[in-house]
Amino acid sequence: AKVALIAIDEAHCVSQWGHDFRPDYRELSHLGELFPGVPRIALTATADPMTRADIIERLDLGDARVFSSSFDRPNISYSIVERDNAKAQLLKFLAEHEGDSGIVYCLSRAKVDDTASWLSAQGIRALPYHAGMDASKRGAHQDAFLKEENLCLVATVAFGMGIDKPDVRYVAHLDLPSSIEAYYQETGRAGRDGAPADAWMSYGMGDVVQRRRMIDDGQAPEEVKRVERGKLTALLGLCETTGCRRQALLAYFGEVYDHACGNCDTCRSPVETFDGTDAAVKAMAAVYRTGQRFGAGHVVDVLTGKATEKVLRFGHENQAVFGAGKDVDGKTWQSVLRQLTASGLLVVDHESHGALKLGEGARDVFRGERQITLRKDRPRKATEARRSTSPAAVDLPAEAQALFHALRAERTKIAKAQG
């Protein structure tokens, strides 16, 4: 029989710029030689403009026509929360989906097993799924998910390719995906019947460290790693955006969405922003003056004036930045550090065990040439309520005046040292 058409599904797998590169896909470029004159079509639901161009080149599609539909999934509601007892947060989210079927994605097999077991103990019907399981058991869990209702499948990204269950009502992420493409593809498994569905994710600084480690320890060429780091930064930007998440998500794929969607967490509860320049200076000064050798936890301890064993061992209680942010709680400083990382003002160096280092643009902030706007909580007094207005100007006591002048001098020193 004559071949009438060659269809290549999941075509992003042919591109090293895609989120799921599979070298074997490169062999598909020979199909044009093997079947001359036979039409070929490449299909993907998750490819940014760079990946789309690479697909055409790698599959030798020449001057192929490109048809692109909207990336918008209007029935999916997007929510991303700061991690704070992830299991409790997940349980609260799942309570809103009693009787529904959905997927919970975890990065590791061990976390899949642990989470599925824990959810079962909480009275939620949950099954694990990952490539390390016995094939028959894995197949049984997949069949159960496809055929039954009220089932939570806890899985690694090994689950999902080619799976089409139309009534998945939620997709939850307990770990940060590798890119916006991966996030879009995985959340896109919800609500394929067109009915309302939820995409929920919790994330923290530990995700950033872990993902950077996976990129840097990988076997990909440095050029590919550079692109992967850029994709991770773009995803962090989505997590920390102050605007509509749907707008940010679609903009990544080159699509303009000209109004707030009203169906994401930042639209339903508009994000407070504040002038975070001073907070950024303090945070980056703490990173710089502790030698750019320590992770977020230690930097927060220095900022909040906690004389931990580690702080004392390295003499950081003697730095001018020690206690510079003690009137603000540690959780807020963690948020500040995450946002500075998302904006590229700080970078995570996994080779230094997740140490924070100054990134491009930090110099401009120290020089006073760049203003920083931050989201969510204005750095607040640890004893104050979550939401507060800007405090009125007050006369600082002598001790605070001394700290203020020391920090101002420190800012000038760092700016000079940074050139």
Provide the 10 A C-beta neighbour count for residue 382: 12
CA dihedral 67→71→73→79, nearest 10 degrees, is 170
Q: Which CATH class is domain 76-203?
A: alpha beta
Q: Judge whether 316 and 307 are in contact, CB under 8 Å.
A: no
Q: Do domains 76-203 and 273-417 have the same CATH topology?
A: no
The share of the chain scoring above pLDDT 70, in percent, equals 89
Could you give the CA distance from residue 189 to residue 161 in angstroms, rounded to a whole number? 9
Identify the pLDDT of residue 406: 58
Identify the pLDDT of residue 86: 95
Name the residue ranges covered by the structural domains of the chain: 6-58, 76-203, 273-417
Tokens of 214: 């996976």
**Helix ranges (DSSP H) in 218-349:** 222-240, 245-252, 265-268, 277-289, 296-303, 309-313, 330-342
Tokens of 189: 């498994």
Phi, psi of 202 (to 5 degrees): -115, 145
Identify the pLDDT of residue 388: 38
* Domain 273-417 is found in CATH 3.40.50.300: no
Phi, psi of 42 (to 5 degrees): -110, 130
Rounded to 10 deg, the angle between the 205-217 and 330-342 helix axes is: 40
**Residue numbers in the chain where pLDDT is lower than 50:** 378, 380-397
**What element of type H or E holds 82?**
strand 76-82
Inter-residue long-range contacts of 410-418, CB under 8 Å, 24+ positions, other chains counted: 410/285, 410/289, 410/320, 410/321, 411/281, 411/285, 411/366, 414/284, 414/285, 414/288, 414/289, 414/366, 415/363, 415/366, 415/367, 415/368, 417/288, 418/358, 418/362, 418/363, 418/366, 418/367
